[in-house]
Amino acid sequence: MHSSGVAGAFENWTVQARKGILEMAVLTALAGGERYGYELVKSLVAVPGLTVTEGTLYPLLSRLRQLGWIESRLVESSEGPARKYYTLTSDGRDALALMKTYFTGVTGALEQLQAAVPKTTNRKRKTS
Amino acid sequence: MKWTEDAEAALDSYVESRHREEPEGFDRDEVRSDLRAHIEEELTGEGTEIVMSEAVGKILGVAEADVVKVATPEKTPLKLRPRLIWIFGIIAPLVVLLLEIFTGFCAGVFFDPLPSIWHVAAVGLVPISHWLLLRGFQGKGSRRAMRIAVFLQGVAVVIAVYYMLLFLPLLPFSVPAILAWGAGFLPIGVVGCGWIALRNCSLVKRSNRENIPAVQLRKRLLLGGAIAGLLGLAAIELPKILGQVGLNMAVSENDDTKAGGLSLLRSFQPEESLRRACYMPNRGWTGGKDTVGWIFSIGRRVSNDEAREVYYRVTGDSFNAHPAPSGGLSSWRSKSTAFDDVLFETRDGFDDDLGGDNVGVRIAGLTMGESRIDAHIDPVSALAYQEWTMVFRNASSRAREARMQVLLPPLGVVSRLTLWVDGEEREAAFSTVSRVKQAYQSIAVRERRDPVLVNVTGPDRIMVQCFPVPSKGEIKIRFGITAPLDRGAHPGRLHLPSLIERNFSLGSGLFHSLWVQSPDPLFSPLGRSAEGDIEADQRSCDGHHLRRRLNHKELQATTAYVDCPGASEPATKVACINPFAASGETAWLTRERISSRRAPVTALTIVVDGSSAIEPLRGQVIEALRAIPEPNEIEVLLATDTLIELGRPSRAANALRYKKFVGGFDSRPALAEALDRAARKRGAVVWLHGPHPVTLPGGESLAQFFDRSPRPVPLYAISLVPGPDRLLESLYRETAVHPGERFEEIAHDLPAFVARLGSGDQTTDYTYTEAASSSEDATPKVWDQLARYHGYEQVMESFYNGGSTTGTAELAANHQLVTPFSGAVVLETMEQFKRFGLDPADPSTVAVIPSVPEPSSALLIFLSAFAFMIRRRRSHSSI
């Protein structure tokens, strides 16, 4: 009971945490320039740590486009239907910069906290 | 790339579920489009051409439980079971439908489940929808086809359940019926189909459970279909339901309910439903009603007579003024199976009114094929004699009786009746009403041989019956009418007879061929002759004649008359040989004209019948009331369900402008009130009325007034619309009732008539003397119609004065007249005449149309004397 409760809580936590990280990941993937949607999605799905599927990424792309952080355009293709290409807007670049700064700050803060925690306290907790 | 139904649904489901998670987050259509393109690109790489739901799920990662939360179905899915759908959902309803269409089994035994082509279409939709749905479930149709199938299933379930509920009460009888007779699958098939329809609905709701939006869409389609089905069913059945509800209310014992029912029916005017109830046979367990009629007949069955009374009260018309409503499928079935006489109104092959006193229902297949009217007007005696020859044809496979009521010219009398038997003319025997009726019923109804019967039913009204009009054969009859020319407002005018009620149709292209002749010129407003635009009459060396081809409407019109101006002033004194004088009595009859003046009417009550039949003439009635001079003491009453006092004519005219005449009403309460008022003021009553085709209860009150009133109040009954009139028939014996007046144009004739009453108009009367020898040489000698009509006047005087029935009947029969005491019957053989103590008229003594000009007086006298001699030799009386 105890372990399954922790697992459930952890799953919820990952959902919340991943939402922000996924947005940042998409913006980061587009930071290098315009990308074909299908390739973009496939590349993100292939990143092991993200554990994301196509079904999750397209709604995300739509939401980012609505926020004005990315934009898309259709390009005719000789191999089939028109292809959709995504690119980062200036707002998106600003947002990505802020995200990175924040992420770096949070990561640093977490490292500082880890370093400041006394080892005895941890032991006491475990015995109690 | 082709997507399967399930794949599309899976994609929809996914996008929908994501959108529920983040309602404001993204553009649903864009995401769907992107995902669709992504999936197709992914699968193109794999060489796949059809997108399946599994592939969609795999690519979208629906197993990703933290993102996609799909609601769990509450119930486990049903199995499709295609075989069950085929047997009960498709084959059974089709078999039942075809069986009922071609055999009409249920229609004949219980009720007609398919009374119209719309019902057939509705039932036919059920197996079609089941088949489409089955194909959809099996993935054989497109997504669009599946949606259509689901919608149609919604429609079908309403129809199937409606019929299932109808047949459910019959289900318990099915099993024993199958065991006993091998029949009874009908209810099982219908109920089974209803069950499949309900089961299919569950399949639609529970299928594709992981695909919530698709299921929701299907539920909406199903609901939409069900609503459409309900509306369609209501459109088919609602008029009948309203008709039946109104009809059941209208025959209630409770007065308020009855009034409510009539009000409902008058508002909706479900004429066809009511007519159906009038024509529907009363026999049998259900009477072959349609579904609605059957349901409503479970509690209380409305009889034909009740329905016919309600029909009149609602429409103001006689039900048999129109043919039976189309039997729809029943008619088609009957024709296609060659049982052409088993038509709607006579489903069981019986004619309830055969040999009876009512004209009754229109008989399918029975038509008047030919009609000719020959007439001679004698301006000297101011008498006319007309012969109406009719040929009836019967297209059915059963012998039928032709019945009709004929409106005679005012004060006319039937003086000859002939039937053609094997091409030979057979003359009628004249005798008491009871004897001729007994002979007719015995010969016609029981022995089914060839008689024809004519009786009086009311003032200037006769009933003619002839039987049998053989199957696929015809019968020819003729009756002669002796009538005086108009002595009132239009002297010298002869009105033509017309049909006011009949149980046969008029043959296609039928016209009444009219020939009127006279020594004097003739005029008529009737249509031109067939030859084209010719003079109003034709003069020839033989005198004048007028020939017309009249359609039925023209003969029924108020303009169906011929004027002979030369007869407007008949000879003061005329004489004829009386061929009907008793043996040893004098043989000369002399008529002398005298003028008298009626006492002026000082107070008048006009009763206007507020029935629908008068509605087309309302404008003319208003105009006529306005034209009546105000100084006279005149008041107007309107006869509706309640008596409405309209006051003086001008005020009444204004009131009637805003009063629409709807329904048929009993005029007796208004007449009783009018007679009471007139009695107090020593006045008279003028009753402007339409037909009263049914006998309404409470007929004794008026008769009581006429019987007991110390002072007779004249009642002038003026029929504005020709038609059957039971009320007028019931007043026939009352001397104070004067029914003869005919209006051609109400707006002109009513004020003129009122003015004549007010001034005490001059009337023409006659006195008769009989002598052994010829009267003075100067006295014009005329035809024996004078003697015939003198006999009629004697009979009617006795009738009104309550004279002896036997003696008067003998007098009438002796003069070969059809009167209230005597009728005429033609039988097939002399043996039949003898069996009933009847003596047919000698052909040499019967009334005939003379040649024009009339034979010289010497020849006339010779012919009359010859006929008289022959008659005298016939020693025994026919009475």
Give the lowest-confidence range in A8-22, B21-35, B128-142, B270-284: B270-284
In angstroms and rounded to an integer, the radius of gyration of the C-alpha atoms of chain B is 37
Residues of chain B contacting residue A61, judged by C-beta atoms under 8 Å apart: 34
Say which residue the tokens 């007519």 belong to.
B275
Contact yes or no for B37 and A81 at CB 8 A: yes
Among B132, B57, B61, which Cα is nearest to B90's?
B132
Q: Which two tokens stand for residue A2?
A: 């105890």
**Chain segment B196-228, per-residue pLDDT in tens:** 999 888 888 776 544 555 666 778 889 999 999
| pLDDT bracket for residue B69 (50, 70, 90) | very low
Q: How many Cα atoms within 13 Å fall on the side-chain side of residue B415?
A: 30
- For residue B143, the distance in angstroms to the closest alpha carbon of chain A comes to 22
| pLDDT bracket for residue B819 (50, 70, 90) | very high
Query: How far is B380 from B780, CA to CA, in rounded Å?
Result: 8
Average pLDDT over residues A101-112: 90
Greater model confidence, A116 or B498: B498
Q: Which of B41, B44, B59, B62 to mutate to test the interface with A (most CBs of A within 10 A)?
A: B41
- Please count the other Cβ atoms lying within 10 Å of the Cβ belonging to residue A94: 12
| B24: closest chain A residue by CA | A63
Quick one: pLDDT at residue B586? 60
pTM above 0.90, yes or no: no
Residues of chain B contacting residue A55, judged by C-beta atoms under 8 Å apart: 14, 18, 35, 59-62, 64, 67-68
B88-92 contacts at long range (C-beta below 8 A, 24 or more positions apart): B88/B189, B88/B192, B88/B193, B88/B195, B88/B196, B89/B126, B89/B127, B89/B130, B89/B131, B89/B134, B89/B193, B89/B196, B89/B197, B89/B200, B90/B127, B90/B130, B90/B131, B90/B134, B91/B127, B92/B188, B92/B189, B92/B190, B92/B192, B92/B193
Say which residue the tokens 């239907």 belong to.
A81
What is the third-level CATH fold of B599-760? Rossmann fold (3.40.50)
Residue A86 in contact with residue A35, Cβ under 8 Å? yes
Angle at B416 between CA B415 and CA B419, to 5 degrees: 160
- Which range has the top average pLDDT, B289-303, B308-322, B565-579? B308-322
Q: Which of B38, B43, B48 to mutate to test the interface with A (most CBs of A within 10 A)?
A: B38
- For residue A55, the distance in angstroms to the closest alpha carbon of chain B comes to 4
Residue B247 in contact with residue B309, Cβ under 8 Å? no
Query: How far is B647 from B606, CA to CA, in rounded Å?
Result: 10
- What letters, b where the CB count within 10 A reaches 16 and e where it falls short, cover B821-837? bbbbbbbbeeebbeebe
Average pLDDT over residues B5-13: 79
Query: CATH top-level class for B366-530+538-568?
Result: mainly beta
By DSSP bridging, strand B561-563 and strand B538-540 are: unpaired
Question: For residue B363, is pLDDT > 50?
Answer: yes
Average pLDDT of the residues of chain B: 81
Residue B115, exposed/middle/buried by CB under 10 A (0-12, 13-18, 19+)?
Answer: buried
Please tell me the total number of residues recorded for chain A in this structure: 128
Please tell me which of the candidates B27, B38, B66 has its beta carbon nearest to residue A66: B27
Query: How far is B590 from B580, CA to CA, in rounded Å?
Result: 14
- For residue A16, the distance in angstroms to the closest alpha carbon of chain B comes to 10
- For residue B32, the distance in angstroms to the closest alpha carbon of chain A comes to 9
Whether the CA torsion B207, B208, B212, B213 is positive or negative: it is negative
Number of H helices, E strands in chain A: 5, 3
Say which residue the tokens 């079904």 belong to.
A55
**Chain segment B689-702, per-residue pLDDT in tens:** 999 998 887 767 78
CA distances from B306 to A12, B270, B280, B300, B612 (A): 79, 16, 12, 12, 19
- What are the residue boundaries of the structural domains of chain A, listed by start? 2-127
| B64: closest chain A residue by CA | A53
Question: For residue B342, is pLDDT > 70?
Answer: no
Q: Which two tokens stand for residue B669?
A: 């309460």
**Chain segment A59-91, per-residue pLDDT in tens:** 888 888 888 999 999 888 777 778 889 999 999
Give the number of A-B residue pairs with CB atoms closer than 8 Å.
68
Among B652, B616, B622, B620, which Cα is nearest to B634's?
B652
Contact yes or no for B25 and A11 at CB 8 A: no
Average pLDDT over residues B291-317: 80
Residue B599, exposed/middle/buried by CB under 10 A (0-12, 13-18, 19+)?
Answer: exposed
- For residue B203, the distance in angstroms to the closest alpha carbon of chain A comes to 29
- What are the residue boundaries of the structural domains of chain B, listed by start? 2-60, 82-237, 366-530+538-568, 599-760
Q: How many Cα atoms within 13 Å fall on the side-chain side of residue B80?
A: 14
Quick one: pLDDT at residue B406? 96
Contact yes or no for A53 and B61 at CB 8 A: yes
| Residues from B in contact with A at Cβ < 8 Å | 14, 18, 22, 25-27, 30-31, 34-35, 37-38, 40-42, 44, 59-62, 64, 66-68
Please state which CATH number belongs to domain A2-127: 1.10.10.10
B607 Cβ neighbours under 8 A, 6+ residues apart: B636, B637, B638, B639, B667, B670, B671, B674, B685, B686, B687, B688, B689
Greater model confidence, B541 or B141: B141
By DSSP bridging, strand B715-719 and strand B512-518 are: unpaired
